[in-house]
Structure formats: C-alpha cells, structure tokens
A and B are shown apart, each in its own frame.
Chain A
Amino acid sequence: MGFIPLVDAAPLIVAQEKGYFAGEGLTVSLSREGSWATIRDKVAAGALDGAHMLAPIVLASSPGVGSEPRAMIAPIALNCGGAAVTLSTRLTGGGEAGARLKHLVRRRQEAGASPLTLAAVYPVSIHNYLLRHWLAGLGLNPDVDVRLTVVPPPRTAALLEDGVIEGFCAGAPWNAVAEAAGVGQTVVRVTEVWPEAPDKVLGVTEVWAAANPAILQSLIRALAAAGAWAADPHNQPELVGLLARPDYLAAPPEAIAAGLAEIVFAGPGVNPPRREQAAWLLQQMARWGQIGDVAIDKVAERTWRPDLYLAAQGG
C-alpha cells in the first residue's frame, strides 16, 4: 500500500503500527512515495495494491472522464479537512490578506509586471479547487490574474521564503510548517468553506477489487478502525510520535499536532464514500475546465462505492 508523507496518511500508518491490519489477518507493507503521479501509476500498474489517494485522482481514472488505462474505485474515505491556503507573510503583514493580495495583483497588472505565482499540490485536488474558489471569491480569475503552479508540499515553505511562490494550498502539516518558519500565514481552511468535502480516500483498481473481495473487506474494516483510533483525542500524543518518525512523515511533531487539529478521521459523514460528494468533486473539475461533458451521476456511481463500505462493516 502506498502513501504520501502527510498527516492524513494516519489511517494507514495506524493500521500498520497498531495492529489493525494484522488483526484482520492482513500482511501489509507500506511504501512511502514521492508524488501522486507515481502513486496513481503504481496502483494502475499493480505495483501497489492500493494507496492513500487524493479523491479526485480516483474520479479522473474513470473511463468516462480521463484516458487513464485502469479504472479505480474509492471504497472508503479516509478524512475531511487539512487543506488550507497559506500566503507569504509579505502579503499578510497589514490589513486583510485577501484584499491585499487582490490589490497587489492589480498593481502588477497596471505596471506590466509578471503575475504573482501561487501553488497547489496537484492539478486534480481539493487543494487546487479551494485555492481557485478562494481567488474567485476575491474577484480574481485564477487562470488569468495569477500564475498557478504545482510544487511538492515539502518544498512549499522554502519556495515561499525565497519568493518563488507567494502562496500555496497544501495539506497538513505543510501550512503549519510554513507558519512555524515565520514565512507564511494561513488565510483560509477547507473546513471553513466546505466542511464535508472528502480529502483522501483509499484508491484501488476495479480489477483488483473484483479479484480480492475478501481482502478488500478486511482492508476497509482495518482502515475504519484505525481512523477511529486516530480520531480519539486520548491517542493524539502517541499518534504524533508515530507520524513524526523518519520512515513516515519525518516532520516536526509540533506541526503534525497542529495539522491533526484540522483533520477529521472518523464519523458517519466522513468514511462512507458519498456519491453526492463525488458528483460535487466532478462539478469542481468541470468548473475549472479539467473535464468536458461527462455523465456525472454515472461516473460517481461507478467510482464511489458505499456498497463496499457497508458490506465490510456488516461482515
């Protein structure tokens, strides 16, 4: 199983370290990966059986949407929250940050200067949609008024400090890391805008799910139990210690603890994959021109699989 070093990989790490995989009779090895693209490709190619995945990556793998070779499904959602927009302290110094950003964008346009650069973590991600939605709310067109790019989350604080980017939207712990370094200030969190938006899911291919139904059920149960453990405040100190380990996040415990406060790992509104949320994510993809005219309901039904989640809980 693959994961990206982020706080919301906690369900997989907890399931491994606290024995939830073993309790279901599963022998799992976790593989830390450097990019979402590699996670997607390895799952598609069968080099990984499943992975911690940005929810829209699963949707983008649907035959009705993209041209990816292997269709994927989401049988359990891992968390809500964690994504946030952080701007350089150069922009947040005085007054309201959004208004100040808009003023700077307009001033640079008047002066013929290059557009400000802002970063998200992946093209199809709640992070990209949150950043774009927030910019649109300020009256800015994200495709015209600023330059949007993608940078690896661990580099965000350094790029902010160096002035290569002026802001970014990433998951935990990277907003807290930039704040702790004194180079950034978080201006909006996903929970303030879309409290129930799914962030990461378990992604597996349709083919693998069909070939391994019993293993998939065990996997769903183990991840649900691990999510409940991660959500229990009593376990937080131990969880922070686990995630901070060099083989997992290799990040400062303080930033991880700050990130955990933003993330919901368990609950009836969190873990079952809800098709209306898949449809909503597809609408975001359409809003920003990432997908054309697709049969949203059909794609949501094929990729978001609450039936598998419920079957596992009943089993």
Chain B
Amino acid sequence: MRVLIIDPDPARAALVAEGLAGIDPLQVRLAAVFHESEAAAFQPDVVVVASESPDRDTLESLREASAVNPRPVVMFVDRSEPGLAEAAVRAGVAAYVVDGLSATRVRPVLEVAMSRFHLMHQLRADLAKAKADLASRKTVERAKALLMRERNLDEEAAYRLLRKLSMDTGRPLGAVAADLLAFAGVLKGGDSM
C-alpha cells in the first residue's frame, strides 16, 4: 500500500510516517504541498492530509473522475463506524482513498495518523509549558539575586521572601518575581530587563 502524507508541518509528517512504519507492506511519501504530477507518479492508495492544508480542496476536486484523472479519489467516510470521521476531523486530519481500496486496510492508517496528530499536539503543548517554566525559573533566579544584593539577604532568605510574597498575593512565584524585577527597573529609571 502506498501512502502520501500532505502536511505543512514537516515534523508532524515525519511522526506520522514513523508511526505507519509498523504497518506493512507500505511505502510512505511526505510532501508539504500537494503536487498533482508528483502524486500521479507515486500513485498513492491513500492520501493523508492535515486539515489545515489548503490542498484539501484540490483533493476534493479529484473525486470527480475525468479523462485526465482516471483513478478517482474518494473521501474516506466509514459508515460502518459512526464517529470515526468526526474523530479524524477533531484530530485535524483527513484521509482520501483511491477507489477500490477496502476500508479495512485504510482504517489502521487513519488511526495511526490520528494518534500521531494527537501526540504532536501534546508534544507541542509540553514544549511550550517547558519553555514557560524555564523562563519563570530564570526570572525567579534574577529576582532572588536582586533581593540578595539590595537587602543583604542570603539565598535561602531571598527565596523565602519571594515565597511569602507569592502566598500573600496568591500569585505564582514567577509572576511575583517578574513584578519585582519590573519595579526595580522603574525605580532605577532604567530598562527593567
């Protein structure tokens, strides 16, 4: 079975391809943009496409068989399992199969694609959180250094003061630290960062 993956996000496409490697026999090709001539040369049995790709409308037009396109592409909507198509839409992925391929062979491909799209979403969210955590930790370190310098505190006491401010105001430590640094900047009349 030949699978063409159209996804403007190359990292996610690679993740889907890697997930599909477990299904054999299989040939996978990745593309950021759908090119009809490349697709014609590859002759995919299934096209997996990211919902955000504008190429979906081009793929839809291939549903209409013509002399130029004798192998009609049909949208994959599996009636036997209500909810599958909806789940795919919510996962951000769509699949098109070339007429004649049985639904039982398409399903595992779509399921892998869906789970990988979910995984990528989760990875991106984790990365964003890790970045925010790191930024927050750096801010706390700088606020601590400021308190140690301005108030002649040792590191432990500076941290305790920050913790107290955080608890008294009910705001996260990072936010309290950022405020402190900003105020120090204003008081000095300079750039707070």
Which residues of A are interface residues toward B (Cβ below 8 A)? 33-38, 41-42, 44-47, 67, 69, 121-123, 143, 147, 149-152, 154-155, 290
Contact = CB atoms under 8 A, between A and B. Distances in A.
Contacts of B9: none
Contacts of B94: 37-38, 41
B178 to A, nearest CB: 27
Given A35-B51, A290-B64, 18 more contacts: A38-B51, A38-B89, A41-B51, A42-B51, A44-B86, A45-B86, A46-B86, A67-B77, A121-B57, A122-B57, A122-B61, A123-B60, A123-B63, A123-B64, A149-B36, A149-B61, A150-B60, A155-B54
A183 to B, nearest CB: 19
A311 to B, nearest CB: 30
A51 B58 CA distance: 20
B77 A150 contact: no
Contact of A37 (B57, B64, B68, B85): B57
A47 B89 contact: yes
A226 to B, nearest CB: 26
B92 to A, nearest CB: 9
B66 interface: yes
B53 interface: yes
Enumerate the 4 nearest inter-chain pairs by beta-carbon distance, A residue then B residue, closest first: A152-B54, A150-B61, A35-B56, A45-B86
Given A38-B94, A47-B90, A143-B66, A150 B51 contact: no
Contact of A41 (B52, B59, B64, B89): B89
24 contacts: A34-B52, A34-B53, A36-B57, A36-B60, A42-B51, A42-B89, A44-B89, A45-B85, A45-B89, A46-B86, A47-B89, A47-B90, A69-B77, A69-B85, A121-B57, A122-B57, A122-B60, A122-B61, A123-B64, A147-B68, A149-B61, A152-B55, A152-B57, A155-B54
A46 B56 CA distance: 19
B56 A37 contact: yes
Nearest to A48: B89
Nearest to B60: A37
Interface string B1-23: 00000000000000000000000
Contact of A35 (B53, B64, B85): B53
Contacts of A33: 52
Given A123-B61, A150-B61, A35 B36 contact: no
A128 to B, nearest CB: 9
Given A34-B53, A147-B68, A45 B60 contact: no
Contacts of B52: 33-34, 38
Contacts of A290: 64
Nearest to B57: A35
Contacts of A67: 77
A290 B66 CA distance: 12
Interface string B61-86: 10110101000000001000000011
Nearest to A68: B77
Contact of B58 (A38, A44, A151): A151
B58 A150 contact: yes
Contacts of A35: 51, 53-57
Contacts of B86: 44-46
Contacts of B68: 147
A67 B94 CA distance: 17
Nearest to B8: A34
A167 B53 CA distance: 22
A152 B89 contact: no
A67 B76 CA distance: 12
A41 B57 CA distance: 12
Nearest to A153: B54
